[in-house]
Amino acid sequence: MAKYRWGPGARDVVGASRDGGTVNASYKVKPTDEELLSAVCDEDPEAAASAATVLGLRGDERALDALLAMLHHRDSAARAAAAGALGLLGMEIAIPALQDASHDGDASVAAAASLALQRLGVEGSARAASERLVAELKAEDPERRALAARALGGLMDGIAVQPLVERLSDADAQVRADAAGSLGWIGEPSAAPMLMSVGFTDPDVRVRKIAMHAVARLIVPETPL
């Protein structure tokens, strides 16, 4: 079976086209709905997650049952992609399952489900996820801190600004990069001075680049990160 890899993250969804075309020219362009419905059940979690995201973007309601089942996938990225796709489908029948997923043991899945609930008009769901992710920013594992920082950018909640600013001095470069990128998405101007400082002084060139792009986005919100 062909593998379709259009990253399942929130930012990929924001930047993707509504017709579900690929964002990577090295893979098949615009697979059929039938191919995607088959791929969403693929044993490869990356292929399943990518297919789920595109089905959500296309608004294909035939994917509902498969996406609901994916919320119980063993892979957290696949569960997060399923939650995001259900939010894009906009079907209220998915609300109970998404509410369960908003308590997932993986913070990135919980955030994706909460964002989907917000899309469906469920009040207060995003704030609860933001508070949980802010707590995750203090996790001992740098990968968990990075995932939390990245997910907060998708939720775009102002309560995350100061905690993310603090992560700009994290010992781990990936955490600093994700914190900078998310501050650019949230768009709070008060973060600009610290981002500019990081953009000039961080020892990691990638972190400096992302921080400067984030500053540019604070000035011109349409600037891509």
What's residue 160's pLDDT? 95
Confidence check: pLDDT of 14 > 80? no
Residues 223 and 158 occupy one common structural domain: yes
129 within domain boundaries: no
Q: Are residues 112 and 179 in the same domain?
A: no
Average pLDDT over residues 126-132: 83
Rounded CA-CA distance 50/202 in Å is: 33
My answer on whether 108 and 78 are in the same domain is yes
31 and 94 belong to one structural domain: yes
Whether 12 and 99 map to the same domain: the answer is yes
Q: In this structure, are 72 and 164 located in the same domain?
A: no
Tell me: pLDDT of 125 over 80.
no
Instruction: Flag whether pLDDT at 10 surpasses 50.
Output: no
Across 33-44, average pLDDT: 85
- Over pLDDT 70: what percentage of the chain? 85
Q: Do 105 and 20 sit in the same domain of this protein?
A: yes
Q: In the predicted model, is pLDDT for residue 104 greater than 70?
A: yes
Whether the per-residue pLDDT at 92 is higher than 80: the answer is: yes
pLDDT at residue 157 tops 70 = yes
Q: What is the pLDDT of residue 39?
A: 87
Q: Are 6 and 50 contained in the same domain?
A: yes
Residues 100 and 185 in one domain: no
Q: Are 149 and 161 in contact (CB under 8 A)?
A: no
Q: Which CATH number goes with the domain that contains 208?
A: 1.25.10.10
Q: What is the pLDDT of residues 59-91, one digit of tens each?
A: 989 999 999 999 999 999 899 999 999 999 999
What is the extent of the structural domain holding 169?
144-225
Cβ within 8 Å of residue 179, ≥6 positions away: 149, 164, 165, 167, 168, 170
| Three-class DSSP category at 62 | helix
Query: Buried b vs exposed e over 127-137: b needs ≥16 C-beta within 10 Å?
Result: eebbebbbebb
Task: Report the predicted TM-score, pTM, of the whole model to 2 decimal places.
Answer: 0.67
Closest CA to 80 of 57, 58, 119, 53: 53
Distance, CA of 187 to CA of 225 (rounded, Å): 12
Residue 131 lies in a domain: no
